[in-house]
Amino acid sequence: MGIKVVTGTSRIEWRIAEAPVDYEAAVEVMETRIAAIRDGLAPELVWLLEHPPLYTAGTSAREEDLLDPQYLPVHRTGRGGRYTYHGPGQRIAYVMLDLTRRGADVRCHVHRLEEWMIRSLAHFGVKGERRQGRVGIWVVRSGAAEDKIAAIGVRVRRWVTYHGVGLNVDPELDHYRGIVPCGIVEHGVTSLEALGVDATMAEIDQVLRATFAEIFEAADSCDVPCHSLTARK
């Protein structure tokens, strides 16, 4: 699978996949790892990777949002949310954490994931924002149009999280045309490249690691208002 293990903290391991990872294989790895984390046999893990082009259908996916079933492979998944796209140029971060160490609050975990994307984007001069009732991180384009730049989808099993976030670095945005991303028709999708930001995946990874530490390792509790997201325990 071409995985590079990166030294993390005593509690969290980091891995970076050096080639695109098959989606079903990735889910199998996550399922195995979260069981090991839950049983105290492995440390928590953040896994950075890319997938070959595909659509995933979350637990709230509606068939009418799949506009072209033949355009790309479609995978059903247990994460929260609707249809989304994964492909080269999108940095996927699968976050496998034990929430019993962090207040056992799923909404708080989602809030932290949102904050992680917002702070990471800020390092590249991009203002990412939350929107009530719209999952993910959004940027305001010219003419006050809003586009999604980062998707969030989470599943939680016995208080161990998996799945996570997808940040659009420089994916083929035309690949989104086969779905209604996250069921939202009145807004589009964008990427750092489309916003004029020239960043390598290595630079993205460096920023993700730095901002992750600020948010997830600074405190074990969460006392900020949290947005809700469909998730499964």
Full set of structural domains in the chain with CATH: 3-216 (3.30.930.10)
CB contact at 8 A, 104 and 171: no
DSSP 8-state symbol, 152: E
Query: 40-75: buried (b, 16+ CB within 10 Å) or exposed (e) per residue?
Result: eeebbbbbbbbbebbbbbbbbbeeebbeeeeebebe
Does 226 qualify as catalytic in the annotation?
no
pLDDT of 145 reads 84
pLDDT at 55 over 90: yes
Separation between Cα atoms, residue 8 and residue 130, nearest integer Å:
28
pLDDT at 73 over 60: yes
pLDDT of 193 reads 97
Q: What is the residue whose two structure tokens read 């999280």?
A: 161
142 to each of 135, 145, 146, 173, 226, how far by Cα in Å? 21, 6, 9, 18, 28
pLDDT, tens digit, for every residue of 116-173? Answer: 999 999 999 999 999 988 889 999 987 778 999 999 999 999 999 999 999 999 999 9
Model pTM? 0.88
Q: What is the mean pLDDT of the chain?
A: 88
